[in-house]
Structure 1
Amino acid sequence: MFDVHVHAAPDVLARIGHDDQIAAGYAAAGYSGFVLKAHHESTVGRASALARSTGLDVVGGITLNRAVGGINPAAVLSALSTGGRVVWFPTADAHTQESAGLPRLGDLDERLGRTALAVPPVLDADHPTARDAALVLDLIAEHDAVLCTGHVSGPECRWLLDAAEARGIGRFLLTHPSYTVPGMEPVEIAELAARGAYVEITAYQLLHQPGMTPARLAEVARAAGPRLVLASDAGQPDSPEPAAALEQLIAALAGEGLDAGWLRDAASAVPRKLVLR
């Protein structure tokens, strides 16, 4: 098994365990590795240290929120040049996150203000950071890294896929597209999957997303087809240990009549092939 999305301490939000504790849990569960994600800092150095100390395939990356300068080519180049494999477009600082009233770094201190981020060419082609977005995409292509859509809107996800195709980016993951943000419908997800996008479903959705059910997640899984990726997105104190959370997701989807072997492949071979060279 290979979990493509997990959070650990230290973080600005409370987490169920520190990096080494999360890694030990995966090792005990027989996992081959995982992707360590943080919303407000690069995890490349942390992942490298874990890989050396545990022997697991631990992968890091960078999320393009305000703490790293937003859609910042310098931060992306630094992360990818030091071994990072994954670039997430804005999550906690996305304009969709603000509109949905979901947690943001600015919630911790009102002096930060409520500035939110978008993919500039979609909402404003003349935006001064449109050039930065293009360079970020070029860097992802040149490093054969994984482009994750983050929490941006459906139209922004579609634009990112168009831009990825134009650059020959083959590692493209829709970050939990059926989550509150971006809130895409199965028919939209199926269209993008048919064009080559991988589609993530997370245990967090099953455990915490208002109104989400196993039946609805099964619809998304069917829309994704062979591009399905199952991940935990765990690490919260009120979630199970990440490996257990992912097992719960697989069991819930299998309970909706989906093939258990296919689901396990979506939590192992498929994400490994997506992330690792």
Structure 2
Amino acid sequence: MLEIRNITKKFGKNLTAVQDVSLNLSHGVVGLIGHNGAGKTTLMQMVATLTRPSSGSIIFQGQDIVRKPQAIRSRLGFLPQDFGVYPNLTALEFMQYFAALKGVRDPARIRHLLEMVNLHDQAHRQASTFSGGMRRRLGIAQALLNDPDILIVDEPTAGLDPEERLRFRHLLSELGFRKLVIMSTHIVSDVESIASQLAIMRHGKLIAFETPEQILEQAHGQIWSAQMASDEYENLRGKVQVLQSQKQGNRITLRIAHPHQPCAGAEHAAPSLEEALMAQRYASQEIAA
């Protein structure tokens, strides 16, 4: 559906935000993972035609949208990280305004989307009074007005409470059944259960594009659990990558990322996706060093 070919984006002479990234994307939820400043937002803005790459091409249905941005704009929905609402508009008026901008003239479409994001009971309430989660859901509704083939959401669960985050993930998962959903986040749990593929970025580069299962398999045998006294922990902590530590009585329980047994008594542990990604990161840092 979407092919990104050797995309690079430079700001001035000294800052390269995205460097030579290539991806082939189809239906499903793609998690775009990386630390703050990894280049995720810049990459999404280029796909959304909000900024032009310095070099490379983005192909949608056979057309290079860098040269012909209109080829994708009518088939695209976008929810930026900082999504604001007009203070004097109700949720319904907000949706009607964006429907007019997008050329959507079906009132039933607006009602359907408000129901889908569970805001139909709040349609006549001013959007400025909504909670963060409600604004996010309203943002998704406006992004879906034109029934897009591609939905791009940037850090969609930032600032949401656990219940809102769970509801939002479920909504994106269902959308991924029939659309391409590109979801940027640095919160691994947001994509752990819904992403069909993960694109991992670091310092503007794409370092991996794999399924969650593949990433977990690569971390097999590299995650350890151990218990030890506090003084033993102090001696060990500077020598290995400690993922988690918890004090229990006079002992400390650890989770450690290491290619070999890090200490006496350490046992293999099944990695979570977040631990697998951290193990991958530490391994790449050691290779670079």
Normalised by the length of structure 2, the TM-score is 0.38
Return the structure number with greater strand share: 2
Return the structure number with greater helix share: 1
